[in-house]
A and B are shown apart, each in its own frame.
Chain A
Amino acid sequence: DGGITQSPKYLFRKEGQNVTLSCEQNLNHDAMYWYRQDPGQGLRLIYYSQIVNDFQKGDIAEGYSVSREKKESFPLTVTSAQKNPTAFYLCASSIPGRLNTEAFFGQGTRLTVV
């Protein structure tokens, strides 16, 4: 079954800790994205990557970091510099360079600071 797998589904973080959210896809897509979802604010772009070993900041990149060492994987690290990390995080992928293609989403990770 092709798709995007995010893990874990729920994650709890203590203040001052870094945590890493996993995103793996087997759709053979070059482009991958991370979005943050807060109630009433829709989805905001954190980082995106059009190809392996390359990524760009989105609208709210401060306090986050990513890597793209493999085509299939695009992990997101929420650092202690992110002041309000409690949110629902969504990973997506698509075929780059084709504007008419939709993005496919994982099931999300809900991060809570305790």
Chain B
Amino acid sequence: AQSVAQPEDQVNVAEGNPLTVKCTYSVSGNPYLFWYVQYPNRGLQFLLKYITGDNLVKGSYGFEAEFNKSQTSFHLKKPSALVSDSALYFCAVRDEAGRRALTFGSGTRLQVQP
């Protein structure tokens, strides 16, 4: 069965500093990994995805994520955080050997202080 873990409920960072939101996964086959962002009382917006190829994936709004197969991780990063990045972030996985629906982590709240 596929699963995702986001070990931090909340991440606090000062504006202008780099940020990292952690994600680890467990799948049977090759993983297809995604990051989404959610603003209050809204749906999820897609940020980026890893399929195959380059381990560093670039996405929307200056975000990027690093895929590490040996550590089964897919951490979200941004070199310089903005106050407007404050939101709830979800990591998700789809397993080529498993069901087609995405499995989500529990979410990490990012708080960027001015």
Binding site for B on A (CB under 8 A): 4, 6, 31, 33, 35, 40-45, 48, 50, 58, 88, 90, 92, 94, 96-97, 99-100, 102-108, 110
Contacts and interface: CB of A to CB of B under 8 A. Distances in A.
Given A31-B100, A48-B100, A90-B43, A100 B105 contact: no
**Nearest 8 pairs of A and B residues by beta carbon:** A105-B43, A42-B106, A43-B104, A100-B51, A105-B44, A107-B43, A102-B46, A42-B104
B100 A96 contact: yes
A33 B100 CA distance: 10
Contact of A40 (B51, B90, B100, B106): B106
Per DSSP, chain B at the interface is: loop
A42 B49 contact: no
A99 B32 contact: yes
B34 A50 contact: no
Contact of A58 (B51, B90, B101): B101
Nearest to A32: B101
Interface of B: 6, 9, 32, 34, 36, 41-46, 49, 51, 90, 94, 96, 99-107
Nearest to A10: B41
Nearest to B91: A42
A47 to B, nearest CB: 9
A4 to B, nearest CB: 8
A4 B45 CA distance: 12
30 contacts: A31-B100, A33-B101, A40-B106, A40-B107, A42-B90, A42-B105, A42-B107, A43-B44, A43-B90, A43-B104, A44-B104, A45-B103, A48-B100, A88-B41, A92-B44, A97-B100, A99-B32, A99-B96, A99-B100, A100-B32, A102-B34, A102-B49, A103-B102, A105-B36, A105-B43, A105-B45, A107-B42, A107-B43, A108-B41, A108-B43
A96 B100 CA distance: 7
A41 B4 CA distance: 12
B86 to A, nearest CB: 17
